[in-house]
Amino acid sequence: MPDHDTHSSLATLLEEGQALRDALLVGDLTEVRFRALILAAHAILLDLPTVNEASGALVRTLGVEGVTPEPGYAEAVFALSDAIDEECRRQGNS
């Protein structure tokens, strides 16, 4: 059974992922960038390299504020979502 800290950590990842998705759905790329950076920071603190790599790839694909994102940023969002889902499955089974 996962401990409270693990559960809280997973809940944070899921909440931030949901916030990122919501921002993407309304076209708020500034918020998407912000949420991707938050997810990257959480991934570093929680030692989740796959989530960190996926969130970093999304940040790079989106680019900086005022720059048109590179093609494929939607795929980077899906890759980040998959990384979070996989981590939740992994943590849930440990």
Q: Is 5 helix (H, G, I), strand (E, B) or coil?
A: helix
Decide: 80 and 58 in contact? Cβ < 8 Å.
Answer: yes
Average pLDDT, the chain: 88
What pTM value is reported for the model?
Answer: 0.84
Domain ranges, ordered by start, for the chain: 4-92
pLDDT digits (tens, 9 = 90+) for 14-41: 999 999 999 999 999 999 999 999 999 9
Judge contact between 10 and 88, C-beta under 8 A: yes
